Each structure stands twice: as structure tokens, then as C-alpha cells.
Amino acid sequence: EIVLTQSPGTLSLSPGERATLSCRASQTVDSRFLGWYQQKPGQAPSLLIFGTSNRATGIPDRFSGSGSGTDFTLSISRLEPEDFAVYYCQQYGSLPRTFGQGTKLEIK
Amino acid sequence: QITLKESGPTLVKPTQTLTLTCTFSGFSLSTSGVNVGWIRQPPGKALEWLALIYWDDDKSYSPSLERRLTITKDTSKNQVVLTFTNMDPVDTATYYCVHSTWSSAFGYWGQGTLVTVSS
């Protein structure tokens, strides 16, 4: 089973700042099968990024993903108030499909 | 437009069996490459993948929960059913139904249903 470890657990930033979220895998993940989800309070998660760097439909270009092998990153270039949420990475190239434990992005 | 909706009991007693139904529209589970899965999230905690059923009726389960889980589909009703035996208070969670194709990310999610396990 591929274990995904996200860091930091909580990230406190101000609107307009840049956010960098990390996802580290216990073994190599094919970059085609690494995704990121955003979850706002009381809502289901929604897909942000698939295939490491591809934005899902309707996702603004301030969101970007990068990485390879065991290290992946989600970056948000200029935080908007609506970006403060919990973010999860997920690998979907091997079974069982696994999620990271999440990074909470909160307003400083 | 793809939609999924979970239904089932909101409260179950310890040791009981939970049966959840995902009713979907906008796609057919008989189409090659289509999958429907279940994910859960205990209150305030992370997402946990549970099971996946494929268009060809193949199935995959979380290794840690496989003994307790069964996933089935009724293509004619556009439904996927998850049964979870021997429920325990630690199984209290919001249960989500999700859609994917081939080995894709989960692009569509149901709204989730909160299941509480308590006597």
C-alpha cells in the first residue's frame, strides 16, 4: 500500500500570499495517477488537479501541481478567500487507492 | 451531467450491518472503463477509500476492511450498494459515493451521508 504523507498539517497564510503544499509517497507514484482535492466545510471534496499537473474543469490557473517519483506539490499562487480549505492528495494508480491525511489551509 | 446520491440509515447499532445505496445518473455502469466507488470520512478526519466496482463487475476493496465489505451493482437501476458488516462506533463517518473512469481520479462525488454507530 502506498502511504501518502502531507505537510504541513496546517498552513496559516494571508490572502494574496502563495501557498505550497507537499505530498510525499512511500514509494514511487506514476505521475499520471496523482491528484489533489479541495474540501470546504460541510461539503464533499472536489477534484482540483489530476495527473500531477492538470487542472480539472473550471479550476483557476492560480492552482498548479508539480512533482514526480515520490514528491508532489500543490501551489496556489495568490490566495483568494475561497481557497482556505482542506486539501488532500491521492494516488489512483495502484490498489488500494490512498489519500494523504490532508493539509488545512487557514487564514492567518 | 453526472450526479450521484447516497442513501441509507443515519443511525445503526454496534454489530449491525450497514447497507448504503448510491443512485447515479448521467452515465452507465455497463460502459467500458466506468467505475463507482465508496470513500468515507470520520468527523474531523481524513478521507479513506473503501471499495470500487468496475463496469465488468470486477471489485476492489480496502485490504484492512475487505472482510467486512461487499460492493454490488444493479446496472438496470443505476445503483451501487455497499454493505458493511459488524459496525462499530469507530465506523461513524460520512460515506461518499464517487465516479471514475479507467484509472482516473474521482471527478464526481455524491453529497455524502453521515452514518452514526451508537447503541
**pLDDT single digits (tens) A43-61:** 999 999 999 999 999 999 9
Residue whose entry in the numeric block shows the C-alpha cell 458488516: B85
Question: In this prediction, what percent of chain B has a pLDDT beyond 70?
Answer: 100
**pLDDT single digits (tens) B25-79:** 999 999 999 999 999 999 999 999 999 999 999 999 999 999 999 999 999 999 9
Residue B3 sits at the chain A interface (C-beta within 8 Å): no
Question: In this prediction, what percent of chain A has a pLDDT beyond 70?
Answer: 100
Q: Which residues of A touch B106 (CB under 8 A)?
A: 35, 37, 45, 47, 90, 92
Pick from A46, A50, A100: which is nearest to B104 by CB?
A: A50
Measured distance CA(A50)–CA(A62) in Å, rounded: 15
Q: Which residues of B touch A96 (CB under 8 A)?
A: 49, 60-63
Q: Are B36 and B22 in contact (CB under 8 A)?
A: yes
pLDDT-derived band of residue B102, with 50, 70 and 90 as boundaries? confident
Q: Pick out chain A residues at pLDDT < 50.
A: none
**pLDDT score recorded for residue B103:** 81
In chain B the beta strands, taken as DSSP E runs, fall at: 3-7, 11-12, 18-25, 34-41, 48-54, 59-61, 69-74, 79-84, 93-101, 108-109, 113-117
CB contact under 8 A, A56 and B63: no
**pLDDT score recorded for residue B49:** 97
